[in-house]
Chains A and B, each alone.
Chain A
Amino acid sequence: MSLVAENISYAYPGGDDLYRGLSLEVGPQERVALVAPSGRGKTTLCRILAGHLEPRRGSVAADGVPVAPPDRRARRHARGPRPVQLLAQHPEQAFDPLMRLSKSLAEAGPVETDEASALYELFGVRTAWLTRLPHELSGGELMRLAMVRALLARPRYLVADESTAMLDAVTQAEIWRALMGIADKRAMGLVVVSHSPALLTRVATREVRLP
């Protein structure tokens, strides 16, 4: 029962091979930090782990199930949110620009429940934001909504890529406390990327250095 990446490698067209057969395992109680200098493919690895990108070689599975449906047929029949959710570095790119945020959130799960309102409260989401379009909110506000949406989908694993980099220290601490509290409660594994070593020592239980 864990998020297992086996022997993966990836290359952008015309680029060198990234990772060259990297294997990684994240347990449901773990919070793993990915550490590497910039340009070594941390964000790409996050997207592979969440099933947004297909690795050129190797496989990624969450609790034994592939994170992305293996072929076109399976993709067509796949229902419901994916087991690994990604908090993208740029939340502006994570929302449909033409969809009101309430509708975007509803894609992940029911939004009228007690759980949803508890999440709004935890991440400081105001209900007035829900009737707006993504461009009418700031990056920090969208990031909070992205977190609520990811958690509404009840993922087994959550990948956070520089997700609190744009917030002030107090908000950052509040949001991480909330995230870690929920992760403990739901036994949800976390993968964390941050440029701040101090934050990683606070948040992560283990560090993985990319080659």
Chain B
Amino acid sequence: MKERANRETDRENRETAAGEARIECATHAAGVSHHASEKHHHHTHATGSHHPGGHHLLTVEHLGVSFTMYDPAAPFFSGKRMVSRAIRDLSISVHVGEVLAVVGASGSGKTLLADAILGLSEPNARVTGSIWFDGVPQDAASLARLRGNGIALVPQSVSHLDPLMRVGDQIVGFKARSRAEKHARRARMRGLMEAYGLDRSVERLYPHELSGGMARRVLLLSALIDDPRLIMADEPTPGLDLDLAVQALGDLRSFANRGGGVLLITHDLELALRIADRVAVFRDGTVVEETAVENFARPELLEHPFSRALWHAMPEHGFDVPAKSAEQLAETVGSML
């Protein structure tokens, strides 16, 4: 089942890749840089966006994720097979040296995007569309190979760590093939721990002994140890208070500043605007607008009505709800006892 789904993905990847790879090269002639807020490939640029080698670090075009399942509304054993579409026609790009925040409500399917990029989709998922990493078109098998070798995931919470294993051993991981390699990785981990302000003694701790902020850094280091080019961070802030959340995001920012790319998946627009270069507004399974953070300074600069509604609804900008639903709200509250 899984293999079939993967093969379908491969085929569709190749089909689209053949047609579009050329366009990709054509628009990104080497040495040509875009000015800030120029629009192409469905997105506007930030001042810091650039395309070394004439391509994006990660490009996702027309991604669709759907699930084959049995009709959940039908009574037992009488459900027909159906296809439920979770993501449709989604396109995003991450440039070198920048943080792209994908912002949407929780439960809206943002994590499925991360799964698709990591090649970790569920067995009953059907993934369509095309993904390029560093200018090379990818299929399901090559995405799985890139996992941990170029693309790294920073998961949501400490529950992703082994509770019975010391933190240091988990960061070093099981990738080393020889003793020398293992020593090299341990040395690299110590360097990273120093760079990110973790004490040497943290190495010996177990996950339950970590504070929220320390746990975030340990998760980040487990990704950084493989020297990735792209980090995907899935909801890195819930449960942290404002200072710790800003610190956790600051760590991602500094990774991007050193030439990596960050895909930040979050529901918190307020925090995303603090550190991201560009924001992709995710709604109902697709990205409705991908735009530079500067455009969130004024609602007129935003294109899609939903992005504007988000702007107006932010607590610092009026806390407004769309006019029609405001009336409805008032009426319904008024009708209650």
Q: Which residue numbers of A lie inside 8 Å of B, CB to CB?
A: 37-39, 114-115, 118-119, 121-122, 128, 138-141, 165-174, 176-178, 181-182, 185, 195-199, 201-203
Contact = CB atoms under 8 A, between A and B. Distances in A.
Nearest to A151: B336
Contacts of A203: 315
Main secondary structure of the interface of A (DSSP, over half): helix
A100 B246 CA distance: 39
Interface string B131-172: 000000000000000000000000000000000000000000
A169 B269 contact: yes
11 contacts: A115-B337, A122-B332, A138-B107, A168-B269, A173-B321, A174-B329, A177-B319, A177-B329, A178-B332, A195-B245, A201-B315
Nearest to B325: A174
A160 B91 CA distance: 37
Interface stretch (B21-29, B43-51, B188-196, B236-244): B236-244
Contacts of A122: 329, 332-333
B319 A202 contact: yes
Interface residues of B, number: 41
Nearest to A128: B73
Contact of B310 (A119, A168, A197): A168
Interface in B303-337: 306, 309-310, 313-316, 319-322, 325-326, 328-330, 332-333, 335-337
Contacts of B322: 170
Contacts of B245: 195
A181 B333 contact: yes
Contacts of A169: 269-270, 310, 313-314
B104 A173 contact: no
Given A139-B107, A141-B107, A182-B336, A166 B267 contact: yes
Nearest to B306: A170
Shortest beta-carbon contacts, A-B, top 10: A138-B107, A181-B333, A198-B315, A168-B105, A173-B313, A38-B241, A169-B313, A170-B313, A166-B106, A199-B315
B299 interface: no
A185 B329 CA distance: 13
B325 A176 contact: no
B326 A177 contact: yes
Given A166-B267, A197-B242, A115 B310 contact: no
A176 B321 CA distance: 10
Contact of A171 (B73, B105, B337): B105
A38 B310 CA distance: 27
Contacts of B319: 173, 176-177, 202
B228 interface: no
